[in-house]
Structure 1
Amino acid sequence: MLFPVRCWTCGKIIGHLWDEFNERLRMAKISNDNLENGLESLFQRMGLKRFCCHTMFLSHYETYEEAIKMGFPEDYSNIT
């Protein structure tokens, strides 16, 4: 599943922040930054104040990469 463009609860546009969120988390892991204030400071720097938007980032899981590995059926004529 791709990351949603908008928060499902409040409707704020958040889709463009997904790559930034992943990059900042990756950089925090590389620098052994334990994010002392939790992820709250990260969300504040990204301009996300509502908990519903936080939930969208924390609960998202990229499944499309796993689906691509499975491949596609060779013969689509049997699919109804």
Structure 2
Amino acid sequence: MIPIRCISCGKAVSAYFDEYQKRTAEGEDPKVVLDDMGVTRYCCRRMLIGHVETW
């Protein structure tokens, strides 16, 4: 499960995860997807790009 908020800045990132995961699975570039969704902070981008489902 992805954390609800970014560990560094506190912005809610879990709201973006489903769309990010769906669009990247379809072959879109992660940079383009994050830019399109308005996720501009490096710390928040790291939370979405580096997340690995463990269950």
Alignment TM class, shorter chain as reference: 0.7 to 0.9
- How do 1:1-80 and structure 2 match up within 5 A? 2-28=1-27, 35=29, 39-64=30-55
Moved over 6 A (4+): none
Higher-Rg member (1/2)? 1
Structure 2 gap segments, 5+ residues each: none
Number of aligned residue pairs: 55
Name the aligned partner's letter for residue 6 of structure 2: C
Provide TM-score, normalisation by structure 2: 0.86
Provide TM-score, normalisation by structure 1: 0.62
What is the root-mean-square deviation in Å for CA atoms of aligned residues?
1.3
Q: Distance in 1 between matches of 2:11 and 2:49?
A: 16
Structure 1 gap segments, 5+ residues each: 65-80
